[in-house]
Every structure is written in C-alpha cells, then in structure tokens.
Chain A
C-alpha cells in the first residue's frame, strides 16, 4: 500500500494517464475525421435521404455508452472481488460517461424518428429498454451520495452497476424479440455488415472517434476522483502538520 492508495491504484493511475495522453488528441482528430466522412464521404440513403446520416452519430454514441457501462460492470465486479477503491472510482467514472453518451442516443434518436416514423417517441421495445438503461445509471449516479461514504456506498453502487449492465443484452436483442419500429441490427448480425462500403467506412470512423472520446473522458474523470481522494487525505493531514 502507498500512502494515498493501493498498488492497484498506482498501476491504474499510470495506465489511465497513458490512455489519456494517447486518446485525448486522437479523439480530437477522430471527431474531425468523422465529421468529414459523414458530411463529405457517406452517400445519402436512397429512401430516407440526408436524415439517415444521423445514424453515424446515433450508433457511435450507443456504442460508446455500451463500452462505458461495460467498464462500469467489469470494474464493479472487480471491486466486489478485490475491495480495492481504485475499481470503484473507475466504475463511477465510466458510469457518468456512459450516461452522457446514452443521453446523446436518446436525444438524437427522436430527430431521426420524427421524419421517418412520423413521431418523436414511441414506447417501442428498443426505445423503452434504452430509456430504462439510462434511468438505471442516472439512478446509480444520483443515489451514490445517499448510499453512504466508504465501503458500504461503494458496495451498493457496484451491485447497481452490475445489475444495470444486464439491460444491455436486452436492449440489443429487443429488436429481435419484439415487434418494433426500430431497424434490425445491420452491422452486428449473423450475415455480417449489411451496409455499402462507404457507409460502413464512415460508421467505423465514427465508432473509432467516439471510442477514443469515451476512453479519454473516463480516464480524465477517474483522475479527478483520484485527485479528490488525495485532497481529502491532505485535508486530514493539514491540521496535524499545522499542530492543530
């Protein structure tokens, strides 16, 4: 153990710092590249027209939220197993970033739905399970301060983080299990991607940019929590050092 954290925490700090240094500038380039591909390279879809281009930002946001929630899920499991605060901080950071991207999905979807389905929102299986996913993790973030400081609160959060993730397979499979307005998966399906090469390339660029952005956000958010821990430790020490 070091003074301000475990050996796991120190190793995780080093890894997150490296991830942050690499992903932050790359995410910037990636977003510019994605914008170029969406505007200038991807063709207009024959039936839906230009509004179909919402697809790239919508799907990339969904992917970034799934990735973030997966990190919360895995970190929560590791916290319950190892009881190391480093995993709890990572789970919290990833949950917050996941909620941001899930909000982007829920905000962008209606702007695609209105011109194509004729409605901003419908209580369709995919839309409803995505809203439930968002509510679970918003609940995770809102309830954390009330769950108590220290291990008790972290344990409670870890359980919610794990249970919440179980909704993701439900979100993904909802379009197969129920009759739904939402399109079937056209990339992750048994026949392989069902997209023209230009659209697939654009989607992959958008996915890469949003993945880098999510990893950058998570590593910065985790660093903030780590610095807060350090500040709390110094606050406890400051009066002692001052002879108080």
Chain B
C-alpha cells in the first residue's frame, strides 16, 4: 500500500475537476433556461397574453 496517498490525490483531483465542471454546466443551463422563460413570458405579455410572474 506504499504510495496510496498519491493514488488517492490523483483520483480526488480528477473527480473534483469533473464534478466542478459538471456543476458549472448545470448552473449555466439553468441560467439560460431561466432567461428564456422570462423572455418568452415578456413576449407573451406584450402580445396580450399572460406571462409568468416576474419576481
């Protein structure tokens, strides 16, 4: 089990990197999806329909 800490550090860094990137994708996806919803609501409201509640 010599050098086990090197192995654990290597996989911890790979895992951390992949997790952080995955979470950043989710955050960006939610951000743009939210913006789209707001914009679509604004357009619907301008056309005389009802948009989603605006905060």
Contact = CB atoms under 8 A, between A and B. Distances in A.
Contacts, number: 90
A85 interface: no
Listed from nearest, the 8 A-B pairs whose CB atoms lie closest are A111-B10, A51-B3, A242-B46, A234-B39, A241-B46, A108-B10, A227-B32, A115-B3
B3 A58 contact: no
B11 A54 contact: yes
Nearest to A240: B46
A53 interface: yes
A97 B7 CA distance: 24
B45 to A, nearest CB: 8
Contacts of A104: 13-14, 17-18
Interface string A98-133: 001001100110011011000000000000000000
Contacts of A242: 42-43, 46
A230 interface: yes
Given A224-B25, A230-B36, A50 B3 contact: yes
Interface of B: 1-4, 6-7, 9-11, 13-14, 17-18, 21-22, 25, 28-29, 32-33, 35-36, 39-40, 42-43, 46-47
B3 to A, nearest CB: 4
Interface residues of A, number: 35
Interface of A: 49-51, 53-54, 57-58, 61, 97, 100, 103-104, 107-108, 111-112, 114-115, 213, 217, 220-221, 223-224, 227-228, 230-231, 234-235, 237-238, 241-243
B31 to A, nearest CB: 9
A241 B47 contact: yes
B36 A234 contact: yes
A49 B2 contact: yes
B8 to A, nearest CB: 9
A242 B33 CA distance: 21
Contacts of A50: 1-4, 7
Contacts of B43: 234, 237-238, 241-242
Contacts of B21: 97, 100, 217
B29 A107 contact: no
B2 A228 contact: no
B4 to A, nearest CB: 6
A135 to B, nearest CB: 17
Contacts of A53: 7
